[in-house]
Structure 1
Amino acid sequence: MKRIRLGNAVFEGLNNVYVLDGETTALVDTGISTPAVESELADGLAEFGLEFADVDEILLTHWHQDHAGLAGVIQRESDCIVRAHEADAPLVSGAELPPSSDSAGRRAVFDRWGMPDAAREELEEVLDANESYREVGADVTPFADGDRFAVNGIEFEAVHLPGHAAGLAAFAFDLTAADTAALDDHETGSGRGDRGDTAAFVGDAILPRYTPNVGGADLRMTGALDQYVHSLVRVIDRDWSVAYPGHRDTITAPSRRAAVILEHHRERTDRVIDVLREHGPLDTWSVSAHLFGDLSAVHILHGPGEAHAHLEHLADAGIVDRDGTEYALVDADPDVRSLFPETRFCGRVEAETEGQ
């Protein structure tokens, strides 16, 4: 197994594409559909003596352009199988448009958030430009949670981890010393590898530096934060030895990293409550402004999306009440910890994270 790092100036940093080579050649994710990144991927494969036509299978962690964008391009050259979770398969195939690409759908969301005209105009320009990165038309083979795929004698289990995207899935497998050595040779550096260890390709379920956006990254979702919280608990409970994320470097303690992100969301919920306590009823955009300040580019989507996810979580718990576009605090002193599941890391991690 090898890693190719691809440029990405739009989202969370360099994309990782993992190459599972042997009798079968499979890729985990593909990178964004731009001519520059397509060339980078072709060059990266060439270093291993491979080209697009050699790819037999693609495992997609989720539908976002920077992960699935080149799947159709590769499939047209190789006739490979493209696998995506059943919730994301229609977006990868092009059978459905994501709400952020549909003008009527996103207009309804932005109205509900109270997004001002100037910010909306800037964001719509970004989203329209980003639409050119969304290569569609792959013939997708859907999978569900728990499905298993064998690649070169290694069995991969699909583990559904919704939150950042409705169909985000990890691919879990048993590590061998030989597998880890091959990855370490290409700067993934797991630091583990005893037989019996387990690992997973996790896409954007957890990232080593940033917190994956929840609420703005997939506008189809309701209850996004609640779903993501349970996905984090699932990562903690699986206790993988190492996780290979969609961006940046290997995560050598995935359970702890998931616990850190969970604590980050507890702290953010506290901040949302403080904002409403101090300023009274506010719409989503105003809460976002108090949390994140001025936003630009795609963060105009991600900031209020994250604020909305937290406000929705609080509304479902009866702590805030929504009237039109505004949310008002109805429980002045809620027990925030009770809104999040306890884990074995309770009280032993701090939210050491960046980004939304």
Structure 2
Amino acid sequence: FISYVLKTFVEHGADEDILYVNKPHIGTDVLSRVVISIREEIIRLGGKILYETLVSDFVIKNGAIEAVVTDNGKSFACDHLVLATGHSSRDTYRRLEGLLNMEQKPFAVGLRAVHPQRIIDDNAYGDISEDLRNKLGAAPYKLTYNTSTKRGVYSFCMCPGGYVINASSEKGRLAVNGMSYHDRASGFANSAIIVSVDKDDYEDRGILSGMYFQEEMEERAYKLCDGAIPVSYLSDFKKRKASVLKAGHEETVGKAVKGSYKGADVSAIYPEFINKAICEGMEAFGHKINGFDMDDTLLMGAETRTSAPVRIVRDETFQSNIRGIYPCGEGAGYAGGITSAAVDGIKVALAISSDDVVQ
């Protein structure tokens, strides 16, 4: 299904090179236009998009979905309900608790590491001409490491020539993410450097314990700089001390970040076991990419939303314990990115159409 997904993106405005390059890249600037085109196609085919509309309740009868109720009091009858909420729809998780069978799953949290793109390119391309470098474009990387305590540390959502962005969606909480425009020309590389966590790493507060853990880390990140992105130099992070951005460095940092930022002690966001794992991982990655663990490496947080902290259980027909409800995509715990979520959506659609044929 991956080729079908990529072809669909191209039909709606993405560059054709994503059909044949090894690591397809659409670009956030292009993707926004692709999404608009897909939305318009859905409407043309008879679909409706309801903005600022919250599902507030589910009507269940004889173990099957009968309708959904929205916050404006309207009810929508349905035999099939696809729950493709995304992994940040925490209000929906709260509503589903006790209704749908869910299970905790491992996830990962950490910080965004920012380097001059030149450092990454030097490692990837070596001693080649500037003309050839320009043709090859900004280089990516993928890094993994197991710490001395057997905890996984790895890069995630690496953005060559990209930006760190404030991706917060809730009042009083701060989460960062990364993005690259199509040209990947910011001059900086960033990636999440994340540490694997599971239910034994945080307080047991029920099935949504992982979500509560994420929320607590985001609240700490928000309070550090009153909503601005907290930034530390790696050298200060190792000492667990606040960073003051060096004279003349603020403008440089601004080229790598979208949104407000401020020097801070980002080690205050996480428990010590996560800080230790990040330090150990960064040192190991410095042996793989020269300069990766240099003192001036920038760390920004909190990177908490790499994947859903729960999985909504579904059977071989893709349905939950309530007939007619189909958990789907990242929010349901069955995907980890744009393409894999699209593929999961196709599988759910085929399951629904197959069910209709049988009936």
After TM superposition, the score normalised by the length of structure 1 is 0.27
| Structure with a larger share of its residues in helix | 1
| Structure with a larger share of its residues in strand | 2
Structure with more relative contact order (C-alpha pairs < 8 Å, separation 6 or more): 2
Structure with the greater alpha carbon radius of gyration: 2
